[in-house]
Amino acid sequence: MNKKNNSRTVFITGCDTGIGNATALYFQQHGWNVSATMLNPANETTLVTLPHVICPKLDVTDKASIDAAITETLQEFGHIDVVVNNAGYGLIGAFETLSDEQVRRQFDTNVFGLMDVCRAVLPYFRQQNSGTLINVSSMVGRIPLPLYSLYNASKFAVEGFSEGLIYELEPFNIRIKLIEPGSVKTAFFQGSSDRENSTGENAYIAFSQAQLAVMDEIGANGISKETAAETIFKSAIDNSSRVRYSVGMDAKVLMAARRLLPDPAFIRLIKIGLSPSLFASARRRLYQFQR
């Protein structure tokens, strides 16, 4: 069925699960046409049943699939107004434990894949003299955390790339938005991230186990994916020159601390905040207070 209409159209990557899936649903509920692209459309059971939604197959590491998904979206809806680069891969672990293949996959997905989506859609945006690129970064794109060195680096790259594009694309009325979530309750903290020790280096085992236990508990109590989706939607309809949108109190507080504190003080703050013993003590006090 041809779904061309006067509604605005959003093209979203990484809609199989998590923030991408919630964002597709949120835009649809607010009357948009939605191209909810994903790696495995055959597994999707909800979005495919909704009006004005299509689910093209897209792998951001495959340029042909990017082009095909954009073509399908234009054929179906006639136009694209907003692109949400949400697809991502989480590589977590001490740097020495991660293989070259893992490192390349991190950047192929989070950086080069995002760039390839932008490269594919920008000629269309320039032709219509409008469009919004929303790149889902992370709090750790500005605030490095332990065991996230490669993931940090990929999101730092997204931040720099996105901000640099502002100057190039402003003459064509193309806006750039950056979404910087803190801890979000998604599969990222429930086993979907890559934590495999591929080099066999065991020097970091004790540190990694203790640190990841704290981070996973923080993630389990993070904001909902629907809250992140709402922020993405708000950025899409925000016609101001605002670029960055933090999501979650942890992101907002740590961003403020990063601006105010010198490096040694900020690094100490992160160490204290992620200390397993101090975190456990704070958690016990919180639970006692809740009772």
Residues forming a β-bridge with 51: none
Cα–chain-centroid distance for residue 271? 24
Radius of gyration from C-alpha coordinates of the chain? 20
Q: Which residue type occupies 266?
A: F
User: Is 204 annotated in the active site?
Assistant: no
Contact 139, 254 (CB under 8 A): yes
Contact 52, 3 (CB under 8 A): yes
Residue in 137, 154, 162, 235 annotated catalytic = 137
Residue in 26, 148, 151, 245 annotated catalytic = 151
Residue in 7, 148, 149, 155 annotated catalytic = 155
User: Is 137 annotated in the active site?
Assistant: yes
Residues forming a β-bridge with 54: 35
User: Is 4 annotated in the active site?
Assistant: no
Q: How far apart are CA 155 and CA 149, in angstroms?
A: 10
Q: What letter does residue 16 receive in the DSSP assignment?
A: S
Active site residues: 137, 151, 155
